[in-house]
Structure 1
Amino acid sequence: MSAPWSVERYTRLAIILHWVMALGIAALVVIGLLMVHDDLAPDTMFRLYQLHKSIGVTVLLAAVVRLAWRLGHRPPPLPQTLPPGEKMAAHAGHIMLYAALFIIPITGWALVSSSVFDIPTVLYGLVPWPDLPVFSTLTDKAPVEAVLKTVHAYGAYALIALVALHIFAALRHQFLLRDNIMARMLPRWGKSRP
């Protein structure tokens, strides 16, 4: 097995964006599951929705930066020992994750924009965020809102499954295959690591 930090790594910005997005997604899932309970006090539900929207926009903006960065910075190669089928699965998994990181926040944004409640989004209580004009000007918002709510919810469940597979694959590589692939995306801490 190679030294823990001798593998070719992602760039510092890619690593930071990865972990910011991972934390954001975890928070979105928890908040998303909490905010759909009917027994919440209206002010608590309102705060959860606003926080969910704020974090969702943050994840979307981070995804835009991450995709732009990735287009100009090739990721480190996968281990040569990885079978071709697993390489294809890894690439397909990353493509699906990127797609979900755009589709889910955009459908959430469209959902808020088409909401019959017409509640403004203020990111973290500080920055007003606009509605998508095509959705906010609809005369009959209810059917569009219903479709978007379904797409957003099922997209979130699909993302949860993709993230679970992503984590499983990373742990498999680290602890079963011992190919040190996780070191490519882990932050470096301490003096002993270059």
Structure 2
Amino acid sequence: MSIPSSPDAAARYGVVARLLHWLMALGLIGMVVVGYVMKTLPLSPLKLQVYSWHKWIGISLLILVLLRLLWRLLHRPPALPASMSPAMRGLAHAGHAALYVLMAAIPFTGWLMSSAKGFQTVWFGILPLPDLVAKNKALGETLVQTHILLNYALITLVVLHVMAALKHHFIDGDGLLRRMTFANAKENA
């Protein structure tokens, strides 16, 4: 099976953009797994350690998404395929903007939640981060629910993002997916 290619496929994202994309993807998958595991564990030293790992990864992903946004502002992405309608282009841009907002908002709400619950975030057990709000049990519970809802929204949006990429690859054959991969740009028979 050959991989679809088109003139649009030549315009690829740079190596740094692709690395940041896939690091975020792996980090987000890891966070979903760690988040699920930590909620199922009984209260124990292991559960507290997993919560610490979750917070460390969350702050790391917040930094990574901020770096990714900075990179994106300084480096223009390749144009979308000419075959895309204006409505689809608008959806693509809105979807990407929503992904960035959620990728920043989720760790930020986690940090706020930890602060409101009275648990300081200490990045990798070394660097204590400032509490963003004073201890407030009611606010903490509201932030728990907000954090969970934002995660479900992100999971939904990521699934739609992957489905759109697969549609472009297998149905449209416009080379869009290939622009973000590390696959060789030449056709493979």
TM-score, normalisation: structure 1: 0.87
How many angstroms apart in 2 are the aligned matches of 1:10 and 1:191? 16
Match of 2:11 in 1: 8
Report what 1:58 is aligned to.
60
Q: Which of 89, 92, 95 does residue 91 from structure 2 map onto? A: 89
Quick one: structure 1 residues 157 and 17, their matched pair in 2 at CA, closer, same or farther if it must change by over 3 Å?
same
- 1:131 aligned partner, one-letter code: P
User: Of 94, 103, 108, which residue of structure 2 is paired with 1:106?
Assistant: 108
Structure 1's consecutive aligned runs of 4 or more residues displaced over 4 angstroms after TM superposition are 3-6, 188-193
**One-letter amino acid matched to 1:47:** Q
Q: C-alpha distance in 2, partners of 1:22/1:168?
A: 15
> Which residue does 1:47 correspond to in 2?
49
RMSD of aligned alpha carbons:
2.3
Q: How many residues align?
A: 185
Structure 1 residues 4 and 41, CA gap change in structure 2 (3 angstroms): farther
- Asked whether the equivalents of residues 115 and 121 of structure 2 are also in contact (C-alpha less than 8 Å), the reply is no
Distance in 2 between residues matched to 1:62 and 1:171, nearest whole Å:
25
Aligned twin of 2:32: 29
**Equivalent residues of 1:97, 1:162 under 8 A apart:** yes
- Counterpart amino acid of residue 131 in structure 2: L
How far is the alpha carbon of 1:114 from its aligned partner? Answer: 1.3
Map of 2:146 onto structure 1: 151
Q: TM-score, normalised by structure 2?
A: 0.89
Asked if 1:142 is matched to 2:128, the reply is no
Q: Is the 8 A contact 1:107 1:151 kept in 2?
A: yes
Alignment-derived partner of residue 163 in structure 2: 168
Quick one: percent identity of the two aligned structures? 37
Deviations 1:78-119 (A, max 9, x none): 000011111111011001001101111100011111114x3x
Aligned equivalents of 1:61, 1:80: Cα separation in 2: 33
Number of the residue aligned with 2:128 = 129
Give the residue type in structure 1 aligned to 2:57. I
Residues 159, 35 of structure 1: alpha-carbon distance in 2 compared, 3 angstrom cutoff = same
| Aligned twin of 1:187 | 182
